[in-house]
Amino acid sequence: MSRFTHVGIVARVIDIPSELAAAQERCNGEAGRAFVTGLPDLAAEFLQRWELRLDGRPMHGMTALVLPVLRADGTPAVLKLQLRDEESEGEPAALRRWDGDGAVRLLDHDRTTHAMLLERLDHTRMLSQLPGTREAVLVIARLLARLNATPAPQGMRRLGDMARAMLERTPWALERIPDTGTRRLVADCAAAVREVVDEPGDRLVHWDLHDGNVLASDRAPWLAIDPKPLAGDPGFELWPAIANRFEADEVRWRFDAMTDVLGLDRARARAWTLGRLLENTLWDVEDGRPAEPRRLEIARRLRDHSG
């Protein structure tokens, strides 16, 4: 069978989830539409190149198509296809650096298309399924302690650059926030970031580790997936676990528990966590959206927390 016949046959059996197509349209416009249109042929190309067989229905997140596959020797794996952007650019390098210690293992990678072959974890057992949030927060903290233990490889986007860019945009954003209390809170977050911006850290930071990005595995109880990595301070890691499955009265407990497990200086960690509110608010203002009340409440509780 010729390559082009093989590609055509395989492409016809891959369903592109409508939610993924909608997310790409919303977030990436024309580039997202082109990415989604090309996904069947892209998948078919790597099924052939890496000698893979489909082994289940497609899965997806906000940005990626994930295909369960079997390798030539029968080993289960997943083929991950996503549109390369600033956040995902460093994912292969981070996974290679971690080499399965606390995170999913990278098996193969194509630099041109950003296609990745990953070990298959158990997508039916997600950390978010635990009935209580406290154990989930502690699991995430213990994973972060392993992931943050290594310095970031060369070429990773850097928290210091991101923080300085945020501070440069802050005056513009403050002028566009109508509510006085929100404006004061965002200004306080920026002031906290200014205190630490000259010491941004060099650890390999996952950036998006919440309980929806932690799956069970046969080789480890829990492993992290889907990093949006950068080089920086581990204090910048805490926000997702604090914000996910939001409970206002748990904000300070989560912050204290995670800084204890990670051994972080709380003042620095608080400053970098408030930096995540600044980052999110800048995105909201740029998109013409009001800041989310949930995010503002987290920032208020941490700003006023002296523990």
Beta bridge partners of 214: 224
Among the listed residues 20, 19, 78, 54, the one whose alpha carbon sits nearest the alpha carbon of residue 215: 78
Cβ-in-10-Å burial (0-12, 13-18, 19+) of 301 comes to middle
Nearest of 126, 304, 275 to residue 201 by alpha carbon: 275
How far is residue 67's CA from residue 57's CA, in Å, rounded to a whole number? 7
Burial of residue 248 (CB within 10 Å: 0-12, 13-18, 19+) is exposed
Active centre residues (catalytic): 208
Q: What are phi and psi of 79, to 5 degrees?
A: -100, 120
Residue 80: name the closest of 260, 291, 227 by CA.
227
Q: At what angle do helices 266-286 and 293-303 cross, to 10 degrees?
A: 150
